[in-house]
Amino acid sequence: TGTAGAVLTSNGASDPTWLEKINLFAYKTADTTGIPYNVETVVIGYTTSVESTIGSFNTTTGEFTAPRAGLYKIETFITVKDGTVPFITTADAFMNLYSGGSWSRFKTVVISLYNTDTDIITLSNSAIIQLALNDKIRVSAAVRTGGGGGASTSDIIASSAALNKLTSLAIHSID
């Protein structure tokens, strides 16, 4: 018998096997500060909240390693601020894939924003991707233009006075 959440699979040629679902939810607990504008920065320093496949996510490097080949759904939220109001910016969120010995981007979200109420924006990015065994996923962000107050750096933030888990990553196996 399989464990809760496992899926019974068969290739039609041999006995069926139980396939464990992969579920990961990780979030930042501390801000990453002083990121220069126009510098792509990998989001690191996560705390793992839920991980069904122990060891597939490195909280220090922010890298998820596929424990098996399959279809995966990836969702990320990256919250950035620059300390100025109004916040006038263009920011990018990237999903990066390590496969075949090199890193490449496979999904980009660009947000341009003029916000007169706050110095914070959240970039949301999601994708469904086929991964091979040991492929890696990581996310990164870059603030391309600065705020109205002349700031030259931005921060990737973990929480605000009212909210926490503002920068997070979720990965789930689909098949």
Q: What is the pLDDT of residue 95?
A: 92
Distance CA 132, CA 68 (A): 7
Among residues 120, 125, 163, the alpha carbon closest in space to that of 43 is found at: 125
Among residues 160, 162, 172, the alpha carbon closest in space to that of 79 is found at: 160
DSSP assignment of 36-76 = ETT--EE---EEEEEESSTTSEETTTTEEE-SSSEEEEEEE
At residue 106 the predicted structure's pLDDT band, cuts being 50, 70 and 90, is confident
Higher pLDDT, 50 or 131: 131
Distance CA 156, CA 146 (A): 14
How far is residue 1 CA from its own chain's centroid?
33
What average pLDDT score do residues 88-95 get? Answer: 80
pTM across the whole model: 0.81
58 and 44 Cβ atoms separated by less than 8 Å:
no
Residues in contact with 11: Cβ distance below 8 Å, sequence separation at least 6, in sequence order: none
Among residues 170, 168, 167, the alpha carbon closest in space to that of 33 is found at: 167
- Per-residue pLDDT tens for 107-137? 888 877 666 666 777 888 899 999 999 999 9
